Amino acid sequence: MSNSDFLKKVSAFIAKHQMLQKEGTYLVALSGGADSVALLCALQALGYRVKAAHCNFHLRGEESLRDAKFCKQLCKERGIFMHQTNFDTRAHAAKRKISIEMAARQLRYTYFYKMFWKYGYAGVCIAHHRDDSVETLLINLIRGTGIHGLRGITPVNEIFYRPLLGVSRMEIEDYLSSIGQDYITDSSNLVDDVVRNKIRLNVLPLLETINPSVRKCIAKTAGRMRDAASIIDRVMEERTGDFDLFSTHRPIFISIALIKNEEHLYLLLEDYGFKPQQIEQIYDNLHTTTGKMFRSDTYELLFDRGNIIVERRGWENIPPLTITATGTYSYSGDKTFTVAEEEYTPGMLLDRGPHCALLDKAKVTFPLTVRRAAKGDRFVPLGMKGSKLLSDFMTDRKMTRFEKRAQLVVTDATGRIIWVVSHRPDHRFAVTGETRSLITIKLIIDN
């Protein structure tokens, strides 16, 4: 396949799935291997604005250092800015008691979400190609799956785009050869020590002895299954309204009373990373007590008072926000805090809504900090004289475990809580008849 033919094929796939826009800037996950190098080069050649991100997992000694050096030089030659980060993958795996492969995946995707929120990228481009999708379908089939698992890898998933899913690994290598671009080879991909490598190195070559076009045929089947799954999803949503899906950063609520059978639950949960065995356990526990939790690699599921609540993992990696002065500040990509100062006279009309805190300026010391609620936090709820544990305050309000851990507080320079966001300001900072100036803090939740 020639250079131009490859670019036309990638461009047509992008257009078919309405992936990318020329006015946006996209982050490309760059490992240095053939797939990611081809993705970076192709998107640049097609006129898209791109920046790169390289993750060093420090798993292969000198090879890991070689990969980072290669990516840095490639981006320098092409005039592309590159973010670089380092992970202690083995320590993360040991701490979470998961496999090295799973630890690397968690670290990688959490980092990509963080970069997406922090820098306002239009999306993150991943270099999965057609053969990767075929391998994924076979892995899911071997482990047991439903219709969604037979879709292979989807072209678009939330903020992630996969422009190379329409081309094979051989076409990628031909493209790089045609433009004279070298790449590096990860030696770990050449050893059949994990399931994916066994399928790539042993199973697929065996299947090709039966049908030389087996990869293309399985890829076509995956495409048909994606179409079928989308039809089923639309019908389920129209007929049952099973859950309220807000933004990707907010919880999903599923009424237990509306779950008809195990397959119904499977269709609802499969896209959130829950494995068949887990979904069986979840179904068996539908009428369990409030508080029981299950975890997939990317989501957590909580039983709470007649509902299943599903929330994305990774919230713990969102750093605190420092507010140095009045102005507008973004937090975690879907929340905005505005801080303003104004003169105050008794009797003036004030905003008393739950997403607004009115404080006496003379009692507040900058900088302010927006952070998650922490164990041992105390404050004096407005209208009370004595302090109260924040955990007790949240329990009194019947907040779920997810809501409690997601609760934000604003503290001032002294470390005291001045506002339990969207619930109650601290009485010690309240506006009184002696107040002359106000500090107004507002939360705006972006849709």
285 or 264: which leads in pLDDT: 285
User: Do 348 and 432 belong to one domain?
Assistant: yes
Asked if 77 and 136 sit in the same domain, the reply is yes
Instruction: Kindly state whether residue 229 falls inside one of the protein's structural domains.
Output: no
Instruction: Quickly state the pLDDT bin for 11 (edges 50, 70, 90).
Output: very high
| Torsion angle (degrees, nearest 10) of CA 53, 193, 209, 148 | -60
Of 120-124, 155-159, 210-214, where does mean pLDDT reach its minimum?
A: 155-159
Looking at the fold, whether 33 and 156 belong to one and the same domain comes out as yes
Q: How far apart are CA 333 and CA 410, in angstroms?
A: 17
| pLDDT at residue 229, rounded to an integer | 75
Mean pLDDT value of segment 93-103: 84
Peptide bond preceding 367 in cis form (omega within 30 of 0)? yes
Predicted pLDDT at 188: 63
Out of 188, 222, 256, pick the residue that ends a domain: 222
Q: Would you say residue 143 lies in a domain?
A: yes
Same domain, 334 and 310: no
Question: Which pLDDT does position 241 carry in this prediction?
Answer: 45
Mean pLDDT for 40-44 is 95
Q: Is residue 326 part of a domain?
A: yes
Residues 378-383 have a mean pLDDT of: 93
Range of the domain at 385: 318-445
The answer to whether residues 16 and 148 belong to one domain is yes
User: How many distinct structural domains can be found in the chain?
Assistant: 3
Is residue 230 domain-resident? no
Q: Is residue 278 part of a domain?
A: yes
52, 95: one domain: yes
Judgement on whether residues 382 and 417 belong to the same structural domain of the protein: yes
2 or 430, which is more confident: 430
Residue 232 lies inside a defined structural domain of this protein: no
Q: Which phi and psi (to 5°) does residue 19 adopt? A: -85, -60
Identify whether residues 251 and 307 lie together within a single domain. yes
Q: How many CB atoms lie within 10 A of CB 7?
A: 18
Q: Would the pLDDT of 210 be above 90?
A: yes
Q: Are residues 131 and 51 in the same domain?
A: yes
Q: Is the predicted pLDDT of residue 22 greater than 50, yes or no?
A: yes
Token digits of residue 107 = 């670290």
Do residue 286 and residue 425 come from a single domain? no
Looking at the fold, whether 112 and 246 belong to one and the same domain comes out as: no
Mean pLDDT, residues 369-391 taken together? 93
Q: What is the pLDDT of residue 237?
A: 60
Main-chain dihedrals φ then ψ at residue 367, nearest 5 degrees? -80, 155
Question: Exposed/middle/buried for 352, CB within 10 Å: 0-12, 13-18, 19+?
Answer: exposed
Q: Supply the CATH number for residue 133's domain.
A: 3.40.50.620
